[in-house]
Amino acid sequence: MNPIPLGGIPFIKPPPVAVVSNLHIVKVLLISPTVFISRQPAPELKSFGQMMEGALFAKRFQLITMNADVDAKKKILPILPALKSPTICCLEDGGFSVSTVVEISSVADLLLKLKLYGATDIIGTDINFAIK
């Protein structure tokens, strides 16, 4: 592999034979950041960067949605983490649907507490992106 200068910054171009020869990665030796370089401000690159950051951010979270009656809602809300605050929707039967964003590392403990406090129909969904 030969370094190819790009605006004074060298980068390594993989040989095309690796792609067409159906080669597989055996071991990753180094992970480096991806950098976009532009001679002029490019709004498209800024938007793309925000989308990439949002995708990386979202990998750490899950959306948890559950149903709760009035009593369960009072017990559940104080223990719910959220990016800002949980989303609460009234259901036709007088109950509530509650949704919140939770770090994946704390989902298992939270699910046990939610069930104990009366939450029903608990669903966890992966988040693909989050743009602030």
How many Cα atoms are found within 13 Å in the side-chain-facing hemisphere of 56?
8
pLDDT of residue 6: 45
Residue 79 falls within a domain, yes or no? yes
Do residues 100 and 82 make contact, with C-beta atoms less than 8 angstroms apart? Answer: yes
pTM: 0.66
Residue 103 falls within a domain, yes or no? yes
- pLDDT category of residue 40 using cuts at 50, 70 and 90: confident
Eight-state DSSP code of residue 106: G
The mean pLDDT value for 30-36 works out to 78
CA 122 to chain centre: 19
Residue 106 falls within a domain, yes or no? yes
Residue 113 falls within a domain, yes or no? yes
* CATH number of the domain bearing residue 122: 3.30.70.120
Residue 90 falls within a domain, yes or no? yes
